[in-house]
Amino acid sequence: MQQHTIQTKSQESVLATNKVLRNTYMLLAMTLAFSAIIAAAVVSLNLPAPGLIITLVGVYGLMYLTEKNRNNSMGILFVFLFTGFLGYTVGPLISRYIGAGMGDIVVLAFAGTAFTFFGLSAYVLTTKKDMSFLSGMMTAGFVVLIVAMVGNIFLQIPALSLAISSMFIMFSSGAILMQTSSIIKGGETSYISATVTIFVSLYNIFVSLLQILGIMSSDD
């Protein structure tokens, strides 16, 4: 009887984990499509960038509201508002690259982001490894990243900008590994929070690849 109860709980746990994983990927696909539509509209209409203050208030405000409603239906609305806003912020950046005749770089950055995501997700889903051991390195990396970003505000060195973009890619890749692992291990129970984490990571990877490819192209 006790063994049967344990097996039942184990099966329920697996079903719950699979549900979170399925809902995360479903919501992620929808928000990526929505964000892409917003970005395309911004490029098409040649709309201006929102500015630093509006961007910071919009990003962190919507992220806070999304996390606060992570376990209710309002969270889904805020996820779309948040990811749509990020799509708007990346639109002017894409316009700049296209206007400079570097549309191929946008395509390469998109392809690189997709390849990175599928590769990292496939690795965790296949191996089932617990990636929580990365948390210490992620914390250290975050501190280094902040210091480098602050330093580059004053120094404005292209090589440092390249290094920061590379660190963003590494940090965001680690976040995807940890988040996916947390879902399959049952540590993450909110597909809304999981979607936001992965989406932000993909956004950072895409923007960082744009900057790296742009710098390399300008050097040529």
Convert the pLDDT of each residue in 86-139 to its tens digit.
Answer: 999 999 999 999 988 888 999 999 999 999 999 999 999 998 888 888 888 888
Please tell me the predicted confidence (pLDDT) of residue 193. Answer: 94
Alpha helices (runs of H) in the chain, residue ranges in sequence order = 2-45, 52-68, 74-99, 103-127, 135-155, 158-184, 191-219
Contacts of 217 (CB under 8 A, 6+ apart): 102, 105
Q: How confident is the model at residue 14 (pLDDT cuts 50, 70, 90)?
A: low
Give the number of domains in the chain. Answer: 1
Domain limits for position 44: 2-219
Mean pLDDT, rounded, for 25-50: 95
Please tell me the distance from the alpha carbon of residue 66 to that of residue 149, in angstroms, as a whole number: 26
Tell me, rounded to whole angstroms, the distance of Cα 67 from its chain centroid: 15
Please tell me the distance from the alpha carbon of residue 124 to that of residue 198, in angstroms, as a whole number: 14
Q: Which of 69-73, 126-130, 151-155, 189-193 has the lowest mean pLDDT?
A: 151-155
pTM of the complete model: 0.89
Contacts of 184 (CB under 8 A, 6+ apart): 17, 21, 124, 125, 128
Please tell me the predicted confidence (pLDDT) of residue 153. Answer: 77
